[in-house]
Amino acid sequence: MDAAEAAAVLARARQGDSDAFRALVERHSRTVFRLAFRMTGNEQDAEDVVQESFLRAYRQLGRFESRANFGTWLYRIVANCSVDLMRAKQARHDQARGEPLETAADMPAADTPDPQRLAESAEISRRVQHALGALSPLERAAFTLRHYEGRSIDEIGRTLGLGTSAAKHSVFRAVKKLRHALQPLRSLANRGLAPQESQR
């Protein structure tokens, strides 16, 4: 679907054409799920975010400005739905007093790792995911947008409804916490040991 076709489909969707909106869903579903998964760290939560995001988009489509980029607008909805869900889970976690947050065992990887490093990569992935789960919802969202999605600080601020300074501080706090949490891995690497070897 080229730009002209996409604009025509969007125009029909804004006029209430359900088939056109379905075409938009199909076009953006993979990108939306990838972002939701990276933000929530959980496949079921990501699916919930995707459903809620498209529902919100459908309800708010009449307010979408045609000169804006639909993908960017939808991206903002997904990010906000993800933060809302993570905050709700955090609130339930706080009420449960000590019940661990649900985290995914692995994140989808862009590349297939070298077979010799599979065990080490699995351990690193587990620790990274655990560290991400310890971030606040806003910190995790900001970190994901910056380091997984390559968004600028200005884009992160607009997406999360933050000022530039607040967005920058959210990313900084997330990186600082992750570096601290993953320090044992760096120490092992400096000694030339795989993570699993240190536990034997």
Domain that holds residue 127: 105-200
Could you tell me the pLDDT band of residue 131, with boundaries at 50, 70 and 90? confident
Residue 62 in contact with residue 14, Cβ under 8 Å?
A: yes
User: 54 with 111, same domain?
Assistant: no
Tens-digit pLDDT profile for residues 16-39: 888 999 999 999 999 999 999 988
Residues 137 and 53 in one domain: no
Whether residue 124 is found in the same domain as residue 147: yes
Task: Give the DSSP H or E segment for 14.
Answer: helix 3-14
What was the pLDDT predicted at 104?
38
CATH number at residue 119: 1.10.10.10
Identify the domain boundary among 57, 72, 102: 102
Indicate the residue type of 185.
L
First to last CA, the chain: 54
Residue 103 burial (C-beta neighbours within 10 Å; 0-12, 13-18, 19+): middle
Looking only at Cα atoms, what is the longest distance across the chain? 63
Percent of the chain with pLDDT over 90: 27
Q: Single out the residue of 182, 187, 186, 195 nearest to residue 119, CA to CA.
A: 195
Last residue of one domain, picked from the residues 102, 128, 146: 102
SS3 state at 183:
helix
**In which band, very low, low, confident or very high, does the pLDDT at 185 lie, cut at 50, 70 and 90?**
low
- Domain with residue 55: its CATH number is 1.10.1740.10
pTM score, whole prediction: 0.69
Find the mean pLDDT for residues 100-126: 51
Check pLDDT > 50 for residue 196: no
When pLDDT is averaged across residues 171-178 and rounded to a whole number, the result is: 90
The token duo for 44 is 């079921």
Rg (CA), the chain: 19
Main-chain phi, psi angles of 55, to 5 degrees: -65, -45
* Average pLDDT of every residue of the chain: 78
pLDDT band at 123 (very low <50, low <70, confident <90, very high): low
The count of domains in the chain is 2
